[in-house]
Amino acid sequence: MSSVDAVVVGAGPNGLAAAVTLARAGLRVELFEAADTVGGGTRTAELTLPGFRHDVCSAVHPMAPPSPFFRAFELERRVELVTPEISYAHPLEGRPAGIAYRDLDRTAERLGRDGAAWRNLFAPVAAHPDRIGRFTAAPLLRIPANPVTVARFGMRVLEQASPAWSLRFRDDTAPAMLTGVAAHSIGRLPGIAPAGVAMTLAGHAHAHGWPIPIGGSQAIADAMADDLLAHGGSITTGTRIADLRDLPAAKATVLDVSARALLELGGHSLPPGYRRALSRFRFGDAVAKVDYALSEPVPWTDPDLHAAPTFHIGGTRAQIARSEREVAAGRHPSRPYVLGSQPTIVDSSRAPAGRHVVWAYTHVPRGSTLDPTQIVTAEIERHAPGFRDTILASASRSAAQFAEYNPNYVGGDISAGAVTLAQLLRRPVLSPVPWRTPIPGVYLGSSSTPPATGVHGMSGYQAALYALRDRFGLEAPQLGVED
């Protein structure tokens, strides 16, 4: 292999962000990807029938607009993003669904006597999405640049992480909506990390909405890959790297791999203490997913759900917390939480005329081989009688199959490491610069580092910035569209 300035391993959104940043600084960059296409968690493919395009992993991107990387990259000038009026919806049996509009006041009005409590909870967060975005994108060890905003955010997180998490609400809808978002963290409820996820994502829902890329999430990966190639970088797909010594000589290497994979790739060069820290890094519970090709839109009982691209199914706050505890205990819940998206209501390009796609996953114990098709279908049918009759085809992927699809998803953990308070502080080690490894010139830039899971590019971006400073004496390059 020929010599280059920098090497990146892994072409998920973090690896692509790292490669773009290094190439924009004028370096010769080579990116290696084990799969045949770039994208990682942002791939789109025909999983069911010809003409039906499904997001393989991530589908909706609330973390993209506030991401410092994507803001610098000017993502919205490169990818057509649709930001729906409704960010997410939460159907409940025997009552109207909870609807989170981008408009905070409209959301509060629909919540009736809990409206004021919802508005008071989210107004300070939604008013400062950039400040919250910068805080959540950095290690928790760092002193925040906006301590007052962060303190208000932190107080709300602590409230929602405690047994008193429902005291401000009087009805079931508002707490169910918030718990549906908290469950994105895939962990026991209540808890500090799930509460932080809930306040962040739900805050973004009212600040800038939850955007969906036209054509599928692959558009985000393709935009970064195109920029890398335009600035002299190269991409080698279908090549799995088994050892750091197999890489071409380079002054800097950024790894978009899990903490476990770092141990496998470079354990021979890591000091014992760091190896022990990586071996203690825990992976969380998992997801199992179903993609549907439909003959018509989902026949929701509540008509407002027809306009909601993202939906959470799982019942009340107590019911969702119970199902998440069952998963954490190693069991498959009989009434599971389901996170779903129906992107064709805003993007008709993903299916033949008049047809639709639905993306849905549920939480399962790590390593589960359960085919989730029947249980997910039943949960959607509960709120949309006749849903089964609209299914033209479906494709499923168990947690074990997710782990085979992407080695970063250990056991089907799509977060590349459990999202807990301990592992937000120590991800994968306790350090103000967790992206820097003890191997000179080697940096970890995956979701096993801050700010953890989500399509934001920040893990790879931060790793690349430190590589530029440490190895080349360079500052952050300009990333925007060149007019």
d(Cα 259, Cα 459) in Å, to the nearest integer?
Answer: 13
d(Cα 191, Cα 420) in Å, to the nearest integer?
Answer: 8
Torsion angle in degrees (nearest 10) through CA of 263, 266, 269, 274 = -30
d(Cα 346, Cα 355) in Å, to the nearest integer?
Answer: 13
Q: What pLDDT, in 10s, does the model give residues 286-315?
A: 999 999 999 999 999 999 999 999 999 999
Query: What is the side-by-side order of every strand in the sheet holding 234-236?
Result: 234-236, 29-32, 6-9, 252-255, 442-444
When computed from its CA atoms, the radius of gyration of the chain, rounded to whole angstroms, is: 21
d(Cα 52, Cα 392) in Å, to the nearest integer?
Answer: 11
Distance separating the N- and C-terminal Cα atoms of the chain? 35
Per-residue pLDDT 10s for the chain (483 aa) are 457 999 999 999 999 999 999 999 999 999 999 999 999 999 999 999 999 999 999 999 999 999 999 999 999 999 999 999 999 999 999 999 999 999 999 999 999 999 999 999 999 888 877 777 666 666 655 656 667 878 888 899 999 999 889 999 999 999 999 999 999 999 999 999 999 999 999 999 999 999 999 999 999 999 999 999 999 999 999 999 999 999 999 999 999 999 999 999 998 999 999 999 999 999 999 999 999 999 999 999 999 999 999 999 999 999 999 999 999 999 999 999 999 999 999 999 999 999 999 999 999 999 999 999 999 999 999 999 999 999 999 999 999 999 999 999 999 999 999 999 899 889 999 999 999 999 999 999 999 999 999 999 999 999 999 999 999 999 999 999 987
| Residue 354 φ then ψ, to 5° | 80, -10
Q: Taking the model in full, what pTM does it have?
A: 0.94
d(Cα 209, Cα 201) in Å, to the nearest integer?
Answer: 9
Nearby residues of 465 by Cβ (< 8 Å), 6 or more positions away: 21, 476
Q: How far is CA 72 from CA 77, 206, 209, 349, 451, in A?
A: 11, 22, 19, 28, 17
Q: What pLDDT, in 10s, does the model give residues 397-455?
A: 999 999 999 999 999 999 999 999 899 889 999 999 999 999 999 999 999 999 999 99
| Residue 321 φ then ψ, to 5° | -60, -40
Q: Taking a C-beta distance cutoff of 8 angstroms, is the pair 205, 125 a contact?
A: no
Type of residue at 217 = S
Q: How far is CA 153 from CA 23, 36, 342, in A?
A: 36, 42, 30
223: left (phi over 0), alpha (psi -120 to 50) or beta: alpha
Token duo for residue 47: 């999983």
Q: Taking a C-beta distance cutoff of 8 angstroms, is the pair 286, 399 a contact?
A: yes
Q: How far is CA 107 from CA 123, 157, 313, 341, in A?
A: 12, 20, 18, 20
d(Cα 357, Cα 448) in Å, to the nearest integer?
Answer: 31
Dihedral sign (CA 294, 296, 301, 306): positive
186: left (phi over 0), alpha (psi -120 to 50) or beta: left
| Domains contained in the chain, CATH given | 6-44+214-281+417-472 (3.50.50.60), 113-209 (no CATH)
- Confidence (pLDDT) at 1: 41
- Confidence (pLDDT) at 397: 98
